[in-house]
Chains A and B, each alone.
Chain A
């Protein structure tokens, strides 16, 4: 399998549930990203990982907890979410310029999350 894959593609959860989103990249990239896409708003960068280390947290609430066990996998753990957290969550990866790449980000298909 090639590219960036995300599971599940759709998720419905209650505010008291705990769930996780998974992203896997098969491109050999060193950096991975989580974005949130809400209606009528620009894509919002949430987290950035570079060689498994978190290098960016854009003031994301603690009910979103990322995990990057290796350069190919990225998780977003969700707990006690709010209805306004309903959105499309996109994962991306890139080979950064400092790691010999071109920094172009490649996106997965996203997980459509609905919080009831």
Chain B
């Protein structure tokens, strides 16, 4: 079945440090890939997405590139801020070969990021 594996947290960084959160996946079909972020006390917010191989999703300084050859979708940011402290979830959604939509998202366990001033 489909699965998503994220690096274990927590991750603690100083402000302006470089961030990488690794994400790899296994899936049938042709997955779309997502990063969601959950700030303390809130629900999940879509951060970025990529729908096909070599696509790069980006938002708020975060980037992730869909690497089909390595089945990865690592999240990166060049300079983190205290306000980036949150839990980050990698997720996939598969689309069947007929082009139909499978609306089920499969999530990783989440990675807690803490950024210190």
Contacts and interface: CB of A to CB of B under 8 A. Distances in A.
B93 A103 contact: yes
Contacts of A105: 46, 103, 105
Interface stretch (B18-26, B78-86, B106-114): B106-114
Interface in B10-65: 32, 34, 36, 41-46, 49
A103 B49 contact: no
Interface in A97-114: 97-98, 103-110
B43 A108 contact: yes
B101 A90 contact: no
Interface residues of B, number: 24
A96 B103 contact: yes
Contact of A109 (B43, B95, B110): B43
Interface string B88-117: 010001010000110111111110000000
A53 interface: no
B109 A42 contact: yes
A92 to B, nearest CB: 8
Interface of A: 4, 6, 31, 40-43, 45, 48, 50, 56, 90, 92, 94, 96-98, 103-110
Interface of B: 4, 32, 34, 36, 41-46, 49, 89, 93, 95, 100-101, 103-110
A106 B107 contact: no
Contacts of A42: 4, 106-110
Contacts of A110: 42-43
Nearest to A41: B109
A107 B100 contact: no
Contacts of A45: 104-105
Given A106-B46, A107-B44, A109-B43, A40 B105 contact: no
B44 to A, nearest CB: 4
Contacts of A92: 44
